[in-house]
Amino acid sequence: MYREYLKQWLDSIKQMSLAIVALFPLALSALVLFPFLAWGVLAESATNNEVWIYTLWGYLLFVYSWMILQRDGILGVEHQLYINSLPVSRSTKDWCELGLSLYGANLFILGPLVIFLVLFKHGAEQVLHLPFSYVIEKLAPAAGLLTLCTYYCIAAVKVRRLPFLSLLILPLLITPWAQELSKIQCLVLWCLAILTERIIPMPMFGIGTWLKGSYRLFFQGDMAYPRAEGLRLVALLLMLIMLRAMFNGVPIDVKSNVASFLSFTSALLMASSLFDTQALCRQYQYYLTSLPVSKFRLQIISISYVMMKALLGLSLIAYLDIFEAQHWALWSLFYVTSLLGILYLPKWFFSLPIIAAVLVFVIGS
């Protein structure tokens, strides 16, 4: 069952990859190489703390998202009735799910495991000649990476509660203090955040009465099928994390060019949320046409709702201090042209922001 799900999932990934490559030819190869680049940074105890935290955050977020996409296949969601009818104990099913989780993670866990074993062997040879605390300090980054990676691979499948505290709030809070904290202290804080989010129930927020009409319908649609918005948030976070980590070692003019590219990709990514809102409008077109709202006003409402959703991404960009004034202007230009493209040229929506980017480049040069 998992093999069949994996086959269908990989087919959809291939189709998505064609679109990614069409837009950004180097994006897919960079994404594939990311784990290999991250291992070298994360296993080295001498790595700059800020770069190390951003890289660890990006790697764990990538691993967690990878496993979330496979969760239905590992748990056999579409075949629950058949699985429950099998004469197999609950513990055996748990072991099977654990095995499939590790199999689904494969390279993401195997890489840190090999690195840890190599460093452990090297540390065991040095423990007689060097202080024990020095050996522990050398082993801590690799051991922490392996432990956290294993936890998130399993938690993505077995734990329904999203790790907002450990995978979003904590990294944002500790990055300003990166140079004041050691890597071991960062790992301890990460583990405490995981324990806290597992023990303390996450507060539930109801919609209440503050959202009404079409806004309420759009919001409930996103809450019922959160995967699309979740993937957009993860994609944006990964871009921000990798670029923020890279900023520490590049000249100022390169930073400006990279921030300009981010303004284009992030605007395109956030504006694509309008596709989901339009699909919801088509699904409930009979209900929406029965409301005393014109088609033009409904379009304005849907655009304003998508803009409100973009505020979270903009807040993250502002918090990580990546954009300057010209980059915010570029982002606004690319975002508006992307929305116009989705409205009037849905099949070629990216053509308008590309034309805008070319014009900006020509005028700027």
- Is the pLDDT assigned to residue 289 strictly greater than 70? yes
Same domain, yes or no: 187 and 280: no
Query: Of the candidates 153, 176, 202, which is a domain's last residue?
Result: 202
Same domain, yes or no: 273 and 176: no
pLDDT of residue 349: 81
What's the rounded mean pLDDT across residues 84-113?
Answer: 81
Three-class SS state of 365: coil
Task: Report the candidate in 64, 105, 93, 89 with the shortest Cα–Cα distance to residue 1.
Answer: 93
The total number of structural domains in the chain stands at 2
**Cβ contact 21:27 at 8 Å:** yes
Same domain, yes or no: 194 and 217: no
Q: Tokens 């990546």 map to which residue?
A: 322
> What range does the domain containing 343 cover?
210-365
Q: How many distinct helices (H) and strands (E) make up the chain?
A: 18, 0
Residue 339 phi, psi dihedral angles, 5° rounding? -65, -40
Query: Of the candidates 202, 224, 250, which is a domain's last residue?
Result: 202
Q: If pLDDT is split at 50, 70 and 90, which confidence band does 207 have?
A: low
> Model confidence over 337-361: pLDDT tens digits?
999 999 988 888 888 988 998 898 8
What's the rounded mean pLDDT across residues 219-240?
Answer: 83
Same domain, yes or no: 281 and 320: yes
Same domain, yes or no: 238 and 346: yes
Q: Give pTM, 2 decimals.
A: 0.79
What's the rounded mean pLDDT across residues 219-236?
Answer: 82
pLDDT of residue 24: 46
Q: How many CB atoms lie within 10 A of CB 307?
A: 17
> Model confidence over 45-84: pLDDT tens digits?
778 888 888 889 989 998 898 888 888 777 776 777 776 7
Same domain, yes or no: 79 and 196: yes
Same domain, yes or no: 163 and 288: no
Same domain, yes or no: 220 and 196: no
**Cβ contact 152:63 at 8 Å:** yes
Query: Of the candidates 145, 178, 202, which is a domain's last residue?
Result: 202
Same domain, yes or no: 224 and 135: no
Same domain, yes or no: 276 and 189: no
Q: If pLDDT is split at 50, 70 and 90, which confidence band does 205 have?
A: low
Same domain, yes or no: 219 and 186: no
Same domain, yes or no: 152 and 281: no
More confident residue, 239 or 149: 149
